[in-house]
Structure 1
Amino acid sequence: MRVNDLVMGVVMALIGAITVWGSRNFPAMPRQEFGAGTFPTLIGGLLMLLGVLLALRAWKRGDLGFSWQGEFAASRVFLCIAAVILAVVGYLLLAPLLGFPVVAWLMTTLMIGWLSSGRWGLSVLVGGVATLLIWLAFVELLRVPLPLGVLERVVY
């Protein structure tokens, strides 16, 4: 069964509102322009905005019901869950050695390529762009150090 965009948009907007509400009293950090609640508030605000846009688009199209998209194998669901767990464990083990950029790009590329039934060109591109954006957000914007691993000799 596929849940329509109206329901998913409303759910995402509610999750965003709960996130913004929950992070409103996070303490300020000493000598920092941004407090601990900045990032959750930003993510919650984007969830609310995009959830409302998704719901409005579905409402405008008149897509208000549920539709069956066919059966799915339970083994495929468990395989996907196992792949995500394996990717997290692999990241924890490999990131200190190989570095965030290498491991994140590799894992993202492999997961997208596998889940998109072999669209490897797209997965290489999306993996690279996603890794770059995450790197810029955490290292440059939020000043959170991510391990460079083997790239440390290249960068420094």
Structure 2
Amino acid sequence: MRPAGHGPRGKQSPHRQDDRHLQGYRQGHQKIGDRGNRTVLETRRSADIATGICLAVLGITCVWASTGIDQGAGGQLLPRTFPMLIGGLLIIGGAALALQALRSKHGGDKVIAWPDRNGWKLLFVAMAGLVLYVATTQFLGFIISSLVFVPWFIRYYGGYSHTVAWSCAVGIAAFIYFVFIQLLQLTLPIGPLASFLG
């Protein structure tokens, strides 16, 4: 008896050959489609390089913006010292991250699982809240802004109790006030509380 699907002398049936050609074409087409859907930042190395460059650019922007801050009336440190320090750290950290990713031989082919729609929503809310926090410190002061933003952030993302959220907010505001204003004598916006805190 001849095997099923074979014609005379054991040759494969033309229909079976056509099916295999069609299956191979579909697989090849699917691979091409998968390549076309890949993003530039799909590997850990490419993502680290992009992140490092963005951090360095952010640091350069921070340093450049801090040069326009008034020097004030003296004190141990100038008001522009702290933002310049932060900008310098961002530049160094971003450059180090990008260079390390370029030199590293590991993780270049490791695919990154990017956030889904809900993850991007949480990221957008966090960034928008941070921008709003920085903007409100100009007229409300960092103490009031911290007492509003920090509890909301901790409750929204951490789900902690009101006691924990408000304790963290008071601790952060007190730390900034005593360390940066009293100890380092930096000029930070206090807002309506300026008359009470001197």
Q: Which of the five TM-score ranges fits, normalised by the shorter chain? A: 0.5 to 0.7
Match of 2:91 in 1: 48
What one-letter code is carried by the residue in structure 2 that aligns with 1:38? T
In our comparison, the structure showing a higher alpha carbon Rg is 2
CA contact (8 A) 2:137 2:145 kept: yes
1:119 to 141, 146, 160: 160
How far is the alpha carbon of 1:36 from its aligned partner? 5.9
Task: Give ranges in structure 2 of 5+ residues lacking alignment.
Answer: 1-40
Aligned residues: 147
Calculate the aligned-residue CA RMSD, in Å. Answer: 4.7
What one-letter code is carried by the residue in structure 2 that aligns with 1:119? Y
Q: Which moved more, 1:76-85 or 1:6-15?
A: 76-85
CA contact (8 A) 2:142 2:189 kept: no
Q: So what's the TM-score if we normalise by structure 1?
A: 0.56
How far is the alpha carbon of 1:115 from its aligned partner? 2.1
1:62 aligns with 2:106: yes
Match of 2:117 in 1: 72
How far is the alpha carbon of 1:25 from its aligned partner? 5.8
How far is the alpha carbon of 1:45 from its aligned partner? 0.5
1:38 to 81, 89, 94: 81
How far is the alpha carbon of 1:114 from its aligned partner? 0.2
Match of 1:9 in 2: 52
What is the CA–CA distance in structure 2 between the aligned matches of 1:26 and 1:87, rounded to whole Å?
Answer: 21
What is the CA–CA distance in structure 2 between the aligned matches of 1:19 and 1:86, rounded to whole Å?
Answer: 17
Match of 2:177 in 1: 135
What one-letter code is carried by the residue in structure 2 that aligns with 1:110? W
Q: 1:18 to 1:101 in 2, by over 3 A?
A: closer
What is the CA–CA distance in structure 2 between the aligned matches of 1:36 and 1:103, rounded to whole Å?
Answer: 20
| Percent pairwise identity | 21
Task: Give ranges in structure 1 of 5+ residues lacking alignment.
Answer: none
Q: 1:132 to 1:50 in 2, by over 3 A?
A: farther
